[in-house]
Amino acid sequence: MSVQLPNPPTPSVDRKVRVLIADDHALVRQGIIMLVKSQEDMEVVGDASNGDEAFRLARALRPDVVVMDVSMPVVNGALATERLRTVCPEVRVLALSACQDDAHITQLMESGARGYVFKMAVAEELTGAIRKVADGGTYLDASVIAQREAESVPTDAVGTPLSTREGQVLRLAALGNTNKEIAAELHLSIKTIEGHKSRLMEKLHLRSRAQLVNYAIERGWLSQI
């Protein structure tokens, strides 16, 4: 006698991006909540008014993305982000701040944030950033990119100029593009891109994509695509 077992459920391709909103200003928080709720591919799973609350809710709810205000009471957004990276690294943080200086942004990215959006950003930019980060990419506010127009040719750790192709691969990878996406963008094979990335990581003495992102941010190279 045989028994027909039911097929396992198939994950829905229409699964919405689950978003947690953290901002200590009630009007700003409610505005972002309304914006996210208006998107067909997103849902708000919770909201918080300080960093400690954001950390506890994110740990419990495991959202895809936390939109994290940087300047909050009790625990600030940078520290909450660092704690989340340790406890639940699969939760991606999109930092939200009124500050645009390089040192501040670098600190946020080193804390584990996957993106940065200026508080005055238009709605389309914020929702686009949420999608990019949820998809595993890295996002920098357009105003930050604009002010980071580099004046020198990228060089490696010992001062040897990178080739044009190496620079293109580095910047596209730092922005969160997959090997397949980079290959399509540059009209090269995926194997060629993998080879470029491997040589770049070795040349620049980098061990992870996070280090690659920080390296590119510190040198203002992400504007040169």
The Cβ-side half-sphere exposure at 135, using a 13 Å CA radius, reads 15
Residue 66 backbone dihedrals phi, psi, to 5 degrees: -110, 120
Confidence at residue 211, expressed as pLDDT on a 0 to 100 scale: 76
- Mean pLDDT of all residues belonging to the chain: 79
* Tokens read off for 224: 């040169």
Confidence at residue 185, expressed as pLDDT on a 0 to 100 scale: 79
Mean pLDDT of 157-182: 73
- Looking at the DSSP bridge assignments, the partners of residue 155 are 161
Q: Domains of the chain (ranges plus CATH)?
A: 17-147 (3.40.50.2300), 164-223 (1.10.10.10)
Whether residue 53 is predicted with pLDDT greater than 50 in this model: the reply is yes
Whether residue 7 is predicted with pLDDT greater than 70 in this model: the reply is no
pLDDT tens per residue, range 117-153: 888 777 888 999 999 999 988 887 765 554 444 333 3
Where are the alpha helices (H) located in 10-76, listed in sequence order? 26-37, 51-61
Q: Which residue has the higher pLDDT, 122 or 161?
A: 122
Confidence at residue 214, expressed as pLDDT on a 0 to 100 scale: 75
Percent of the chain with pLDDT over 90: 37
Percent of the chain with pLDDT over 70: 77
pLDDT tens per residue, range 60-79: 999 999 999 988 989 988 89
**Cα dist from 113 to 72, 138, 157, whole Å:** 16, 9, 25
Please state, as a whole number, how many other Cβ atoms lie within 10 Å of the Cβ of residue 203.
15
The pLDDT confidence band at residue 42, using thresholds 50, 70 and 90, is very high
